[in-house]
Amino acid sequence: MSFMYDIFFYSLWPRRALLRQHHALQCLGRAVASVRLRSIATHRLPPHADEASLYVHWPYCLKRCSYCNFNKYIPRSQNHGVMTECLQKETQTLLQLSQVSRISSVFFGGGTPSLAQPSTIAAVLETVSKNAHLSDDAEVTLEVNPTPAGKASLKDFVLAGVNRFSIGIQSLNEDHLRTLGRDHNSQHALLTVSEARTLCPGRVSVDVMFALPGQSVKSWESELEKLLPVCDDHVSLYQLTLERGTQLFKQVETGELSVPGDDVTADMYKSARRVLENAGLCQYEVSSFAKNNAVSEHNIGYWRSNQYIGVGPGAHGRFVPRAVGGAQREARTQTLEPDVWIREVQRHGHGTRRRIQLDHHGLLEEVLVMGLRMNEGITQQHWELFSPEADLQQIFGMSENVQELQAGGLLILNDRGLRCSWEGLALLDSILPTMLLELETFFQSRVSAETQTFRET
């Protein structure tokens, strides 16, 4: 899966908890930092302002899964022609508003984008090619539900330009699939994976969820063993997040269902990492495993804080606009509700609902939070692209808290950069608040030093 329609709300283990803290910290720090740090926030261009990836959100589903709180709608009827026109229009507008001349990858996510017509996918890709450079071998991923109903043949999506599939199989256990409210069984999932592998060998990913009601470490391990012989070169594992307002949340709250406790969940994650590694699927990010280097280029772009443009209802983007000084990155959110979004695109060419300028501190927070999700972490060179004025050692090296994390074997800070250890990656949600606070402290000390210098001069 892509995790954007919003890096902060699209579920990836264990993001929710840590980002709630992250946001709290942001709110605490921002009021003070954003205004006074102007001199530190050099108005230079973040790296590669001319390049971005593109996320396209298809907001419709056939049925509501019991655990899902993504931006999705079950439509009574659908006008594919209008949706296609609006997705094309918004793609064109946002590309023109940005400084982007090159799209490195495209991800069609949802919702259920495999319910879109292949001609819609082809039309959006054509619009991209008309307005920017999209190389023939750029990664183009489509999220697929293995639901037999309503879906066009995967072959037609390949003919439309898709060259990678991300299939939401979630589980191979029929009871779990029923509890999750999925509208497919494990047989459908296996058939879809097999069809996708024939069409795009080595470029098929599967999404699997764990910590499900009634699941034990043993049953989870045997599910993984069943999955290994059929999966391709990429697996994404997601710990179930109980989302307020969902049916599953209520079922757990009322005691109708229960989910595994924290210790069991931690054991499930640990055992999955071991089982997948033994099968040659190397972990390269908290939730992502690949063999033959079949990593998701698109998601790596998010984790490296590259620019991205988000198109479609509720999509999020981060890019430097062409106007307004032309140097600072903006966080953009498109209107959530599809009918309203359609009207806005028809009227204004885009459905951007919110634009926030990311200050230097905000950008570095994202680089930190996203970068530490990867095994490789944040290299010194990468950090320097965003923070030429202070390297990782200067910001984190003197901190007692960071030294404690290092001594505990959770974090590694050396000449190469900053990254989590194997154990640390499993505890990222408890490591990040410390790191964000250190970054905050650094910025505060720079402000104090600047204020002091200003007074003296």
Ligand X SMILES: C[S@@+](CC[C@H](N)C(=O)[O-])C[C@H]1O[C@@H](n2cnc3c(N)ncnc32)[C@H](O)[C@@H]1O
Amino acid (one-letter) located at 288: S
Residue 182 tokens, joined: 């999925």
Residue 452: other Cβ atoms inside 10 A: 10
- 314 lines the binding site for ligand X (CB under 6 A): no
The b/e string for 86-125 (b: 16+ C-beta within 10 A; e otherwise) is bbbbbbbbbbebbbbeebbbbbbbbbbbbbbbbebbbbbb
88/145 with CB nearer ligand SF4: 145
Which residues neighbour 259 within 8 Å (Cβ) at sequence distance 6 or greater? 211, 212, 213, 240, 242, 252, 265
Among 53, 92, 93, 112, binds ligand SF4 (CB under 6 A): 112
For tokens 């010194």, what's the residue? 380
**Minimum CB separation from ligand X for residue 221, in Å?**
19
Q: Find the binder of ligand X among 6, 143, 183, 438 (CB under 6 A).
A: 143
Q: According to CB under 6 A, which one of 4, 6, 11, 352 is a site residue for ligand X?
A: 11
141 makes contact with ligand X (CB under 6 A): no
Least distance CB 18 / ligand X (angstroms):
14
Q: Which stretch binds ligand X (CB under 6 A): 31-39, 62-70, 83-91, 126-134?
A: 62-70
Q: Helices 15-36 and 360-371 meet at what angle, rounded to 10?
A: 160
Q: Nearer to ligand SF4 by C-beta: 19 or 167? A: 167
Least distance in angstroms from the C-beta of 444 to ligand X: 35
**Of 290, 295, 339, which is closest to residue 313 (Cα–Cα)?**
339
Segment 62 to 81, residues that bind ligand SF4, using CB under 6 A: 64-65, 68, 70, 72
User: Is residue 238 helix, strand or coil?
Assistant: strand
- Residue 64 interface partner, choices ligand X, ligand SF4, none, CB cut-off 5-8 Å depending on type: ligand SF4
Of 33, 68, 142, 193, the one binding ligand X (CB under 6 A) is: 68
Residues 9, 55, 60, 70: which binds ligand X (CB under 6 A)? 70
CB of 308 to ligand SF4, least distance (A): 20
Q: How far is the CB of 176 from ligand X (least distance, A)?
A: 12
Residues 329 and 18: beta-carbon distance below 8 Å: no
Q: Work out the burial of residue 154: count CB atoms within 10 Å of its CB; fewer than 13 is exposed, 13-18 middle, 19 or more buried.
A: buried
Identify whether 14 is preceded by a cis peptide bond (ω within 30 of 0): yes
Interacting residues toward ligand SF4 by CB under 6 A:
61, 64-65, 68, 70, 72, 110-112, 145, 168
Interacting residues toward ligand X by CB under 6 A:
1, 11, 67-68, 70, 110, 112, 143, 145, 168, 170, 207, 209, 238, 240-241, 243
